[in-house]
Amino acid sequence: MSVHVSADAPTPRRPVSIHDLRASKQRGEKFVMLTAYDHSAAALLDELGVPVLLVGDSLGMVVLGYESTVPVTLDEMLHHTRAVARGAPNAVVVGDLPFGTYQDGPSQALASATRLLKEAGATAVKLEGGGPMIEVTAHLVRAGIPVMGHLGLTPQSVHQFGGFKVQGRDVEAADQLVADAVGLADAGAFAIVLECVPTELGARITEAVDVPTIGIGAGPHTDGQVLVWHDLLGLTTGRLPRFVKPYADLRSEIAGAVKAFSSEVADGEYPGPEHRY
């Protein structure tokens, strides 16, 4: 049976793969990654052609109201990743491995990562840190699980760092981050997030590895950039990190819409004749 596509129908998109991201680096083409925590956001971002969606454990702070990412559970990550994967058939969907689900070593990490792929439909997983996480990465990759690394400010270690602070400022720390990045790339990580590191170090790491780097507070020289969806849209309250640039002010737009709705209901204007059965 043949399938005929109308000339007016949109051309079907080919799903993005992790190999496409490396090809982008080789061509010198920068790309974006955005967080997504639910089906509607994922569907819109997928429609807009965002190549990588991160179901970050940042959902703990952004969606669930925790003070950090540390309390996020694997079950919570599975719940949100399922919703995102259902809405984004074309993007690379990366699910964060939450704190306490991989630090015990390769076996624990494999069990957790397997659930994110099998039960939630993720394309890949992300884990934080270098050092012992290099072997964990290699173990997952050998099992056929794509892994995204994460270096610099790793939020799951915020208590160890003493707060959300820029990492790699001194020579020794910078050299260690470069070594960890090379180790992760050699272990098979398909990309590495660099968070809150000096611009020069972001450029140095990007040059040192043949896999894409994705920056968040790591300067303009990384291969890609990532922002939290709510930060991008101007929905976040309070003091924002220096690297955040709101591209809209949806908080004000939403406030105006809610106030208008409340006012019209109070005045009896809504529902009008056109809204009645």
- Which residues participate in the annotated binding site? 57-58, 96, 126, 128
- Which residues participate in the annotated binding site for 3-methyl-2-oxobutanoate? 57-58, 96, 126
Residue 13 forms part of a structural domain: no
Tokens of 114: 């397997």
Residue located via tokens 């079907």: 12
Are residue 57 and residue 122 in the same domain, yes or no?
Answer: yes
Residues shown for the chain = 277
* CA distances to 145, 154, 189, 206 from 113, in Å: 8, 18, 14, 26
Dist CA 97 CA 81 (whole Å): 11
In the residue annotation, 200 being an active-site residue is answered as: no
Residue 272 forms part of a structural domain: yes
Are residue 183 and residue 108 in the same domain, yes or no?
Answer: yes
Per-residue pLDDT in tens (0 to 9) along the chain, 277 residues: 333 333 344 456 799 999 999 999 999 999 999 999 999 999 999 999 999 999 999 999 999 999 999 999 999 999 999 999 999 999 999 999 999 999 999 999 999 999 999 999 999 999 999 999 999 999 999 999 999 999 998 877 665 655 567 888 999 999 999 999 999 999 999 999 999 999 999 999 999 999 999 999 999 999 999 999 999 999 998 888 899 999 999 999 999 999 999 999 999 999 999 999 9
Dist CA 83 CA 121 (whole Å): 9
Are residue 130 and residue 90 in the same domain, yes or no?
Answer: yes
Residue 28 forms part of a structural domain: yes
Are residue 155 and residue 265 in the same domain, yes or no?
Answer: no
Are residue 109 and residue 197 in the same domain, yes or no?
Answer: yes
pTM for this prediction: 0.92
Neighbours of 24 (CB within 10 A): 17
CATH number at residue 122: 3.20.20.60
What's the structural domain count of the chain? 2
Residue 210 forms part of a structural domain: yes
Are residue 91 and residue 40 in the same domain, yes or no?
Answer: yes
Residue 12 forms part of a structural domain: no
Q: Is 73 helix (H, G, I), strand (E, B) or coil?
A: coil
Residue 6 forms part of a structural domain: no
Reported as half-sphere exposure (CB side, CA atoms, 13 A), residue 245 has a value of 6
Are residue 130 and residue 66 in the same domain, yes or no?
Answer: yes
Q: Which is catalytic among the residues 29, 76, 195, 200?
A: 195
The residue range of the domain holding 208 is 18-246
Reported as half-sphere exposure (CB side, CA atoms, 13 A), residue 111 has a value of 10
Are residue 267 and residue 174 in the same domain, yes or no?
Answer: no
Q: Is 177 helix (H, G, I), strand (E, B) or coil?
A: helix
Are residue 242 and residue 256 in the same domain, yes or no?
Answer: no
Are residue 219 and residue 264 in the same domain, yes or no?
Answer: no
- Which residues participate in the annotated binding site for Mg(2+)? 57, 96, 128
* CA distances to 82, 127, 142 from 147, in Å: 18, 7, 11
Dist CA 156 CA 128 (whole Å): 8
With a CB cutoff of 8 Å and minimum separation 6, the contacts of 17 are: 92
